[in-house]
Amino acid sequence: MIIKSITLSGFRSFYRTQILTFDSGMTAIVGPDGCGKSNVIRGILWALAHPAASLDPTEICSSSSRHFTAKGAQVGIDYQIRPYDLEMSLSRTLSVNGLWATFNIDGHDYADSVPPPEFLASRAQVQFLQNPAQLDLALEAAKPGDLFLIDGIDDPSSLVLDNLRSLTASGNQVIAVVRSRAMMQIADQLIGVTMEEPGVSKFVPMRLRK
């Protein structure tokens, strides 16, 4: 599963609709502490109903009283299934009161509790990693076209950096919340996140210089 773009609207600190396009290889999501950069990873996991996205409905929708949205929360993903180069899109929506949620996959609506088989097959290509030991195991089992979401590897060793290079060299995609210069330096794309006002995150274009 290779993500082409995501759209975050009303999801946690991304109150205003934000669209982010991804390149192949490794994308580093950077920004100051507390800016909401981890919410990018959480949004992807939540849209995919990944087991790691164990968020209570009250944690999903933008909750600031100044930023209340009647639409609730929605995360959309445009992606490609490898090795078939099959283009697909999905979105997951949650009502602002948390009482109902739906999936929309290639224009077809599904109950949140009963996603279709092709959706589950896509999710099987996604791994969420939070420490170097998980990265070691993931590298052994990786297949070309897998997606690796990383948040928590903050002080990488040279072995970790080599493993990340190996993943992308094998045709996998890595999207990582990055807090170290060493990981920024091996990235193929940098995405900045900042707070345009208290509690409201937005993306900031950044140029990568090797």
Instruction: Give the whole-angstrom CA distance, residue 208 versus residue 198.
Output: 27
Residue 44's pLDDT is 94
Q: How far is CA 182 from CA 22, 94, 179, in A?
A: 20, 37, 9
CB 47 within 8 A of CB 20: no
210 located within any domain: no
Instruction: Give the whole-angstrom CA distance, residue 30 versus residue 114.
Output: 35
37 located within any domain: yes
Instruction: Give the whole-angstrom CA distance, residue 34 versus residue 87.
Output: 34
Select from 59, 93, 57 the least CA-distant residue to 74.
93
Instruction: Give the whole-angstrom CA distance, residue 93 versus residue 70.
Output: 12
88 located within any domain: yes
Sign of the four-CA dihedral 124, 167, 175, 41 = positive
Residue 205's pLDDT is 78
- What CATH code is carried by the domain that includes residue 77? 3.40.50.300
pTM, 2 dp: 0.89
29 located within any domain: yes
Residue 50's pLDDT is 84
b/e burial code for range 168-204 (CB count within 10 A of at least 16 → b): beebbbbbbbbbeeebbebbbbbbbbeeeeebbbbbe
Residue 31's pLDDT is 93
Instruction: Give pLDDT tens digits along the chain (210 positions).
Output: 899 999 999 888 898 899 999 988 999 999 999 999 999 999 999 998 887 776 677 777 665 545 545 468 889 999 988 777 788 899 988 877 666 778 888 888 887 777 777 677 777 789 999 998 899 888 888 888 899 999 988 878 899 999 999 999 989 999 999 999 999 999 999 999 999 888 889 999 776 655
Q: What is the DSSP letter of 24?
A: S
21 located within any domain: yes
Q: Name every residue whose Cβ is closer than 8 Å to that of residue 186 and which is 6 or more positions away in sequence.
A: 26, 161, 164, 165
Instruction: Give the whole-angstrom CA distance, residue 181 versus residue 171.
Output: 23
148 located within any domain: yes
Residue 105: give the domain boundaries.
Answer: 2-205
Our count of domains for the chain comes to: 1
